[in-house]
Structure 1
Amino acid sequence: MSQITEITEEKSTVLVVSKKDHQFVQLLKHELKKYKADVFFSPTIPRDLSKFEYCFLINEERLLKKSLFPAGKKMALIFINNFHQARAAVKYYQDSSIKIISITGDKITQNHIDKLLWFAFSQTKESFLHFTAPKNAAIKKSAWNFSKFRMPSKKKLFLFVFILFLFLHLAFIPPLFVSSFLFYQAADSFKGNNFSKSEKFLDFGGISFSLAKKISSVPRSTFLFFSSTLLEDVFDINEKAYITIQKSLKLQENIKEAMIIILKPDRTSEEKKLLLLRIDTIKKDIDSIEENVSSLTQKLPSQLSSLQNIKKDLTLSLDLISRLKPILQNIDSLLAKNSEKTYLLLFANNMELRPGGGFIGSFGLLQIKDYSIEKIKIYDVYDADGQLIAHVEPPAAISKYLGQPHWFLRDSAFSPDFLENYAQAKYFLEKEMGFTNFSGSFLITTSAIQYILGAFDELYLPDFKEKVNQKNFYLKTQYYSEKNFFPGSIQKKNFLSSLTQSILLDLKNASSVKLTKEFKKSLDEKQIVMYFDDPKLQKIIDSFYWSGRTIKPACAPDVENCITDYIFPIDANLGINKANFFVNRSLDLKIKIDPQGRLHNTFSIVFNNDSQDVFPGGTYRNYFQLYLPRNSLIKTITIDGVLVEDFIEENDQYKKIGLLLEIKPKTIAELKINYELAGYLQKGKNVYQLIMQKQIGASNSDFVMREILPDNIRLLNQNFSALVRNDQIIYNTNLSADKIFFVELIKE
């Protein structure tokens, strides 16, 4: 039998309160709307219930005060599957007209709703209704049937354990391999100056490496248990590679930003503080990089040929860092902290080679004030030489072979020692233009500028409407130097000034890493030499052989029975051309030791003049000098087998030989000098020391050294990798810098 419920008033307002709008609530609202009632739903009880004729409160957790329910309104509290709370409500509201309805079960139907509504709206004095609905069928969980479980066979169990062991010990390999590959790519991109790409590789490699470390705890413990450090070394190499690349990226960015501030003339005090902070960070990063690179060099295995290039790059990086560190420690002096300094810049054209680097075509003044480059002014050399009134006696070779009765700044680089040339240049500039108070000097050759331009893609010179790069620099410079040239013309000066300004303006776009490497290469190859009045800073420059000084040939005090050999070949192009652009030299030294221990040496140079008989080429008119150890005995000098008798010979600190060579275009000439050293080998252990110096501004030359030993003298050791064949020691190298060779011999 179904109950029929009627609502006597039309459009009565009904409130349904439930925290959740579940299926029961939807069914209740649906049935109420059939009776033309306005049904309102709320998850919470409104403050004012008097607006509603009927209120249904579903599953209220707290029993509300009776005073909250307005008189004359029909209230019903419905509890679903909460019989205990329903009984508590009956007891609490027993003296009121509030109806309490309790439903137990889940499948509530329309019939149940009709029964509920009939009870809620009826005039019955009963206040509590309870009915039961069917429950949802419970999901039965089947119990473990241990009777069906069978122990796997020993073979399967062993296989499972073995696979698990392999997985735990090999799972780290893929992410570790990926991280190693990505770190290599990051380093390669860094080397290629693609820093953004390097940073991306490094980030992904870091994620992969972090994963490899997390899952490698088991195999690392196993390796350590068997006293093997192989795995630890692999992880340590990757860790240090990650830190090195990370610090290197940070370093190049800080160097670039520091250079921008240094080149800014109107720098603020805040920018200076930032500069000092960056310099301090650069110092710390260099220390960290040096430590990690040194460790990598030691831990990378030398046996693997694939790692040889990496180890070579790391060794070069260590060498660069070892040079940068002491200079950075003296950066306050170099960049004139809280003071002002002026450095003399001498631009030497080494295509017209002179003993001190080349013909001085231009010079400049570099003014630095408190970590800032205030001004760089470039002058043509004739701006100064045209103002020299007094006579200055030139070196004999200049007056004899160049036909020049006076000595000028342009020819001042006529000593192979830069300090002497710097002193001479200062003398000329004081006499010619009144310039004094220099704090040091840089001599920069044409080749050095060409090296430095390698750090830039291309420079545009708006004054000349020219694009200049590493490949066309010399030809462009030569064109503007010689075009409509006359003493006092300003084309060359203006071209160099414009180029210098373009380099400074475009410095932020250059690769700071490549710029540093090219600058170091220029210093190592003596295409840039420098001198500072600060003795502490100059001592560092001298130790790197960057000051262009002649070396005093002497053995170390603690070395007994030492014979010193010294060879310094020096060219001076006096042909008023740029023939050195086309001239190549190859050097050869044959050392023959007789049974008595005397050393008979033959030093030869082959000159190859590949120029045409037109400017800038032509005949290579070379006043050649050779410095040998003091008291060396000159036996013979020949050119292409013809004996030379017209030469100058001096014996002071060095044995000096000077003679004029003329090598026609498209010809080859060989100069050969036979000499004997003053000392001889003693019985027992001896040391032969050879100092081979490279001329400032000279191009790199092939050098072959051959040492021929008699039967009673044997080789013990040497500081170079030589080919030892029967009684000969043969060594091939490239003379790109000053070199010192040591050979230990024993005489019976």
Structure 2
Amino acid sequence: MNLKKNSKAKIVPIIISVSFIFFVAILFFGLNLYFSAAKTLKSGENLFKSITKNEPPVFSANFRLWENNCRSLLKKVNFIDRLSGRYLSRRYRIDEFGELAEEINRLLPELVGQEGQRTYFVLLQNDREIRPSGGFMGSYAKVKFANGGLKEVFFQDIYVPDGQAVGHVDPPLPIQVAFKQGWWKLRDSNWDPDFPSAAKTIEWFFQKGGEEKADGLIALNFSLVKEIIRVLGPLYLADYRQSVDENNLYQVAQSHSEIDFFPGSTQKKEIIADLGLALTEKIKNTQADGLKKILGVIYKGLAEKQILMTFKNPSLNDFVDRQGWNGALKKVKPSKNKDFDDYLYWVETNLGANKANCCIKREIRHEIDFGQGKTVKESLSLFYKNEGKFSTGIPPFFWGGTYVNYLRIYLPLSYRVTSIDVNGKNLPAEEITLEMKKDFGLQELGFFVRIPAQKETTVEVNYEISLAEVPENYSLSLQKQPGVAGFLYGLNVKSKTGSFVYESEIFKDQVLNFVLGYDKIRQR
């Protein structure tokens, strides 16, 4: 009895001592990590300011300090991660962010032209008038870097190079059907859903309009600018004697741009330039904590395709491609053995010459049936609701109206489409355009869908495929369009043994994997 008490009496102090030592160690490493992170943030702020305030002489020193601090911080994070049994890696994807930071640091000198000059065109897209790359390109910014410093930011109306272009280019058929003008212009040139391909067309039109060659194109949506202003706080436009925040940004920009606008007028350029320069100056003077928030907004925007980018430099271009930041169509390969790989992407284009996407709600229902043996049947239903109050715009109060949507649906080449219905009525073959994109392993189905104000429209597409053998695994790659806000997506996977229902709000590309078991379907 006494021996047991003595043993316990000896063990308790040991446990307390070990716990205390562990607590002190955690506290030490935690404080060390905190100060290291603060030091890294400060060096990042100094680097950012040397770039944006065009101070090339200090770029190299600031960059080296930032790079060294990043490496030191990552080593400490990885050490604590190992102590935690890789909890941080599982919970916060530490390894992934570490690799991303190292690669960005490797490419940053090239991006900001440390060894010369770099010119980028930033396409300012209005996602309330949805287009394949995110929105209508009403304006653009020309951003120049030289020797590691931001040399110039210049804003221009897209109609200026448009008006200087000579010659004639036939438009894609849907643009001609919608606008009946007979020509294709720069402002409508982001037509291809594969942004790297669209970028080549956009650059061609820019050069025909007298613009210089760019080292890269960046497509930036209005929604992301609004989110950055929400984080930074209001902007003051001295020439207009007006304060602009995330709530009135659209109304101010749209009113000054569109009312009494005609090709050749300067009011749109002036308001966009004033907003853009005010925002640029505010970002330049933002401290480390604010910059961290802006980076968070941008990183989220990249994942949700509110920003797309493509570059001439092979290393930069390869990087954004691997990260999925270039808005490329996925390349689909035929399924092998008992693994069935599927793909789905739908792309909307507003050809109503309005901002109807201010008020469009959408929900997607998708069903796939494996219960027919080697024949797989799929049904895709798209539910649209136009919550706009008026059928046409009433500037400056309302810019929406009927949503004239040229809808394109991308499926693997091997599928057979059996029917397309709009509001329960079969769409005639002559109203559907079919194009094979063999380089991507895809087929494109295109047709017009009109959603009047205060109305709902349903599109249903049915298709099927015959497989060599009954699949055991199913993988669906679901691609989301740039500029489209989150939407509800429901998938019902059916087989002879039962069904599995997946439902989620979609904000970015998804890959869904399922095991088609003999007893039941389960998600991997």
**What does 1:66-145 correspond to in 2, within 5 Å?**
none
RMSD: 2.9
The aligned counterpart of 1:657 is 445
Partner deviation per Cα, 1:253-281 (whole Å, 9 max, x = no partner): 2222211110123x262x23432233323
The aligned counterpart of 2:252 is 476
Post-superposition shift, 1:601? 0.4
Select 1:291's aligned residue among 71, 74, 78: 78
The aligned counterpart of 1:363 is 140
Contact 1:290-1:321 within 8 A present in 2 as well: no
Select 1:245's aligned residue among 14, 31, 34: 34
Partner deviation per Cα, 1:520-558 (whole Å, 9 max, x = no partner): 1111110100011121222121111101100011269xx
1:703 partner letter: Y
Q: Classify the secondary structure of the residue corresponding to 2:209.
A: helix
**What does 1:704-743 correspond to in 2, within 5 Å?**
704-711=490-497, 727-743=498-514
Select 1:517's aligned residue among 296, 314, 322: 296
> Per the alignment, do residues 280 and 391 of structure 1 end up closer, same or farther by CA in structure 2, a change over 3 Å counting?
same
Please say if 1:679 is aligned against 2:467: yes
Q: Classify the secondary structure of the residue corresponding to 1:518.
A: helix
Post-superposition shift, 1:397? 0.5
Unmatched 5+ stretches in structure 2: 394-398, 520-524
**What does 1:549-588 correspond to in 2, within 5 Å?**
549-554=328-333, 560-588=337-365
Select 2:485's aligned residue among 699, 703, 711: 699
> Per the alignment, do residues 222 and 379 of structure 1 end up closer, same or farther by CA in structure 2, a change over 3 Å counting?
closer
Please say if 1:275 is aligned against 2:62: yes
Higher strand share: 2
Please say if 1:633 is aligned against 2:412: no
Please say if 1:341 is aligned against 2:118: yes
Post-superposition shift, 1:651? 3.1
Post-superposition shift, 1:503? 2.2
Partner deviation per Cα, 1:143-167 (whole Å, 9 max, x = no partner): xxxxxxxxxxx99xx99x999979x
> Per the alignment, do residues 253 and 414 of structure 1 end up closer, same or farther by CA in structure 2, a change over 3 Å counting?
same
Distance in 2 (alpha carbons) for counterparts of 1:451 and 1:313: 29
Partner deviation per Cα, 1:576-604 (whole Å, 9 max, x = no partner): 11011111111111011124132100111
Identity fraction in percent: 23
- The structure showing larger relative contact order (alpha-carbon pairs under 8 Å, at least 6 residues apart) is 2
Contact 1:566-1:692 within 8 A present in 2 as well: yes
Distance in 2 (alpha carbons) for counterparts of 1:236 and 1:352: 56
Question: Which stretch shifts more, 237-246 or 619-628?
Answer: 237-246
Partner deviation per Cα, 1:97-143 (whole Å, 9 max, x = no partner): xxxxxxxxxxxxxxxxxxxxxxxxxxxxxxxxxxxxxxxxxxxxxxx
Distance in 2 (alpha carbons) for counterparts of 1:252 and 1:512: 9
Please say if 1:259 is aligned against 2:48: yes
> Per the alignment, do residues 233 and 164 of structure 1 end up closer, same or farther by CA in structure 2, a change over 3 Å counting?
closer
Distance in 1 (alpha carbons) for counterparts of 2:421 and 2:104: 46
Contact 2:43-2:62 within 8 A present in 1 as well: no
Distance in 2 (alpha carbons) for counterparts of 1:744 and 1:240: 43
Post-superposition shift, 1:237? 5.2
Q: Classify the secondary structure of the residue corresponding to 2:47.
A: helix
Q: Classify the secondary structure of the residue corresponding to 2:232.
A: coil
Which has more radius of gyration? 1
Partner deviation per Cα, 1:69-118 (whole Å, 9 max, x = no partner): xxxxxxxxxxxxxxxxxxxxxxxxxxxxxxxxxxxxxxxxxxxxxxxxxx
Distance in 1 (alpha carbons) for counterparts of 2:358 and 2:37: 37
> Per the alignment, do residues 728 and 500 of structure 1 end up closer, same or farther by CA in structure 2, a change over 3 Å counting?
same
Post-superposition shift, 1:401? 1.6
Distance in 2 (alpha carbons) for counterparts of 1:243 and 1:611: 55
Contact 1:620-1:663 within 8 A present in 2 as well: yes
Contact 1:244-1:292 within 8 A present in 2 as well: no
Contact 1:591-1:599 within 8 A present in 2 as well: yes
Distance in 1 (alpha carbons) for counterparts of 2:73 and 2:364: 38
Unmatched 5+ stretches in structure 1: 1-153, 170-217, 224-230, 301-310, 712-726
Contact 1:323-1:544 within 8 A present in 2 as well: no
Please say if 1:591 is aligned against 2:377: no
1:690 partner letter: L
Distance in 1 (alpha carbons) for counterparts of 2:135 and 2:91: 34
Contact 1:688-1:744 within 8 A present in 2 as well: yes
Q: Classify the secondary structure of the residue corresponding to 1:242.
A: helix
The aligned counterpart of 1:429 is 206
Contact 1:352-1:578 within 8 A present in 2 as well: yes
Partner deviation per Cα, 1:432-456 (whole Å, 9 max, x = no partner): 11422x2111011111212222330
So what's the TM-score if we normalise by structure 2? 0.88
Select 1:414's aligned residue among 165, 172, 191: 191
Distance in 2 (alpha carbons) for counterparts of 1:461 and 1:258: 28
The aligned counterpart of 1:670 is 458
Contact 1:681-1:747 within 8 A present in 2 as well: no
> Per the alignment, do residues 318 and 359 of structure 1 end up closer, same or farther by CA in structure 2, a change over 3 Å counting?
same
Partner deviation per Cα, 1:274-326 (whole Å, 9 max, x = no partner): 322333234324523652574477465xxxxxxxxxx7995266654443331
Distance in 2 (alpha carbons) for counterparts of 1:375 and 1:288: 37
The aligned counterpart of 2:406 is 623
Distance in 1 (alpha carbons) for counterparts of 2:466 and 2:143: 47
Post-superposition shift, 1:234? 6.0
1:283 partner letter: C
Please say if 1:398 is aligned against 2:175: yes
> Per the alignment, do residues 663 and 698 of structure 1 end up closer, same or farther by CA in structure 2, a change over 3 Å counting?
same
**Pairs aligned (count):** 504
Contact 1:343-1:441 within 8 A present in 2 as well: yes
